[in-house]
Structure 1
Amino acid sequence: MEKSFLVIGTGEVGIAMLDSLYNYIATTQQQFTIGALVQSSSAGNGSTLQSRFIGLAIEAVDLVSESIENLASIFGKYDTVICCSGFSIGAGMQVKITKAVLEGGIRRYVPWQFGADYDKIGRGSAQPVFDEQLDVRDLLRAQNKTSWVIVSTGMITSFLFREEFGVINLSKKVIHALGDWQHSLTLTSCEDIGTVTVAILFHQPEVLDQVVFVSGDTVTFQEIADKMESLFETGFERVLWSRTYLEQKVNDDPDDVFNRYRLVFTHPGVTWPMNDTFNHRNNIPTTGIVQWANTHVAII
């Protein structure tokens, strides 16, 4: 079906994607079919979604247990599939979804690649799930029937403020730098991921079969500390976690997912200049770290 969209997953990014698609409809007065794939175990959430997004089609499916063939038949009803399911559904699932997309013969696919520059990071990094992202890219690049768009966003901004991650600890007023104080991170909020991805999908001429870089903000760890001190009008203890220290933490506890994320985010492939982004070139405003924190984080 021409100009129909299926959003897989209704977490933070999925909801932001639906918001942006519906905002586009409201702004342009165009009509498109929009669907959301929800886990069959939470199918009751479909009515809640439909009360928020009028006309939304609900596809209730268990991604883990459903066969690739059945998933392909569902995906094949849509022109564009946007995967917002994240890593939490389990190892191998992004490859399974991609195989179903290709089997379904859809026109255009946006895979769950809202993160680092996986090509630059390469295989065998501290975070094994990143290898699966490269498997997905290999599948897409090895065929020419389904077009694809990979949207690289860096770290989701809210993740930076998770105390388990450890970079910004507001309760203890500590900022940890990963690797080096001059190393930088590219950050993009969920809302901006939705906004910019939808802008990419409707851009003319069409953006197809390429990696597109976006950014809400690109900041060094020193800038992060300076900005937090200025925003909250208080001092933060500044502690460097060297790469050697982070490697040892992974060796000591390889099952700790945050140990792996801390180490992998010392890699150069997690950052790019704002000037090189799609949103900068197309004058799309995005939310910087201070603006995001001012809106989402309570005063400490």
Structure 2
Amino acid sequence: MPTNSILVIGAGELGTAVLKGLAKHPDFASSSDTTLSVMIRASSIDGNGGADPAKQRHNAYLRDTLGVSGFVPGDIGHDSAEDLAATFRPFDTIICCAGFGDAFPAGTQLKTSRAVLLAAASDNNNGHGKPKRFLPWQWGMDYDAIGSGSAQDLFDEQLQVRALLREEQSNKMVDWVIVSTGLSMSFLFRADFGVVDLPNRTVRCLGSWDTEISITTPRDIGVMAAEIALRPGPISNQAVYVAGDTVSYGRVAELVEERFGGSGGKFTRETWDRDFLKQELAKSPSDVMLKYRNCFAEGRGVAFDLADTVNRQRGIVLQDVQSYLKEMEM
């Protein structure tokens, strides 16, 4: 195998952004011994069960434009940890970009992390290398700061992944990096999330107007995932921060009004404080959006000081909310 064979798990929005970030990174462009592979379901691979035309076109883009040289069949939701370990063994770097949320069974991320550790610990690699670096699915909040038992129960598994990796740290099998990126920028502007409801010209705060949130676009997550994977420097066995912006809900309201307030009248501001959101969650305890809103309203572990981010420390400019809004239309 090449000296740096990289496997990205998943080719959805985030996986594609990470593959693009890797392909465009100068260290990849200048290297002859780094390869990119992607793990997707067998049914999504050309010639394997007849992938639909859209998937075929996407695979062609990954191959012909981004330089993906390997399409590896696998399903982290249904494959066993042992089967996944066998899939992972030939690769030096594993970057997980799939497996979070309702689309995957509970425990998928924990199983995937165990599989990486199994692959790294194996003594039978048929002459291939072992996984040496792992970026798990942690593209989100600072789950350590949020803590267990939060309103969003999906976050508890993220803490379990962190605990597993820290337990194995003394064995020095895999150099892992957890990348906390805050909320996906587009999610902030989803009407069903409720913060920025453009169709109804309404902006709401979660907690208070001074409560802050960190936000990053998928494109920039890809840029920073590539930077950390290819130029780790001193980053090793730790959690780091990445963010395009850290803003208060009050500032979000101001920016939205600046961008769209000139036509159609003013925006209405509504406060969804912590008490209100807790009451709403008590009425609908399985509502996923309410779980997220309650977590963000707490303001703990969801906002990072930009001075502490890898992008700011390395002088890499990422897209902020104001710039993102300029590209949006009503």
Same-fold call, TM > 0.5?
Answer: yes
**Separation in structure 2 between the aligned mates of residue 231 and residue 55 of structure 1, nearest angstrom:** 38
In structure 2, the residue corresponding to 1:4 is in which secondary structure? Answer: strand
Give the 5 Å matches for 1:163-178.
163-178=191-206
In structure 2, the residue corresponding to 1:65 is in which secondary structure? Answer: coil
Structure 2 partner of 1:75? 88
Structure 2 partner of 1:34? 36
Give the residue type in structure 2 aligned to 1:41. Answer: S
Give the 5 Å matches for 1:1-300.
1=1, 2-24=3-25, 28-31=29-32, 32-43=34-45, 44=51, 45=55, 47-48=59-60, 49-87=62-100, 88-105=103-120, 106-143=131-168, 144=171, 145-203=173-231, 205-234=233-262, 235-267=266-298, 268-295=300-327, 297-298=328-329, 300=330
Q: How far apart are 1:224 and its partner, in Å?
A: 0.1
Q: Which moved more, 1:95-104 or 1:1-10?
A: 1-10
Give the residue type in structure 1 aligned to 2:63. Answer: Q
Q: Which moved more, 1:22-31 or 1:104-113?
A: 22-31
Q: How far apart are 1:252 and its partner, in Å?
A: 0.7
Structure 1 residues not aligned, in runs of 5+: none
Q: How far apart are 1:229 and its partner, in Å?
A: 0.5
**Separation in structure 1 between the aligned mates of residue 243 and residue 29 of structure 2, nearest angstrom:** 25
**Separation in structure 1 between the aligned mates of residue 325 and residue 7 of structure 2, nearest angstrom:** 31
1:130-184 CA-partner distances (Å, limit 9, x unpaired)? 0000000011001131110000111010110111101000000100100110000
**Separation in structure 2 between the aligned mates of residue 260 and residue 180 of structure 1, nearest angstrom:** 17
Give the residue type in structure 2 aligned to 1:39. Answer: R
1:234-281 CA-partner distances (Å, limit 9, x unpaired)? 421000001011111111111110010000112321001111111111
Give the residue type in structure 2 aligned to 1:37. Answer: M
Aligned length: 298
The 8 Å contact of residues 214 and 246 in structure 2, kept in 1 or not, is answered as yes
The 8 Å contact of residues 5 and 80 in structure 1, kept in 2 or not, is answered as yes
Q: How far apart are 1:111 and its partner, in Å?
A: 0.4
Give the residue type in structure 1 aligned to 2:67. Answer: I
**Separation in structure 2 between the aligned mates of residue 261 and residue 223 of structure 1, nearest angstrom:** 20
The higher radius of gyration belongs to: 2
Q: How far apart are 1:40 and its partner, in Å?
A: 2.4
Taking only the aligned residue pairs, the percentage that are identical comes to 38
**Separation in structure 1 between the aligned mates of residue 232 and residue 38 of structure 2, nearest angstrom:** 25
Give the residue type in structure 1 aligned to 2:252. Answer: I
**Separation in structure 2 between the aligned mates of residue 243 and residue 227 of structure 1, nearest angstrom:** 23
Give the residue type in structure 2 aligned to 1:89. Answer: F
Q: How far apart are 1:290 and its partner, in Å?
A: 1.7
The 8 Å contact of residues 201 and 207 in structure 1, kept in 2 or not, is answered as no
Give the residue type in structure 2 aligned to 1:279. Answer: N
Change (3 A) 1:25 1:277: closer
Change (3 A) 1:123 1:184: same
Q: Which moved more, 1:84-93 or 1:141-150?
A: 84-93
In structure 1, the residue corresponding to 2:85 is in which secondary structure? Answer: helix
Runs of 4+ in 1 over 3 A off after TM superposition: 25-28
**Separation in structure 2 between the aligned mates of residue 108 and residue 159 of structure 1, nearest angstrom:** 29
RMSD: 1.5
Structure 1 partner of 2:127? none
Change (3 A) 1:292 1:56: farther
**Separation in structure 1 between the aligned mates of residue 93 and residue 67 of structure 2, nearest angstrom:** 19
Using the size of structure 1 for normalisation, the TM-score is 0.95
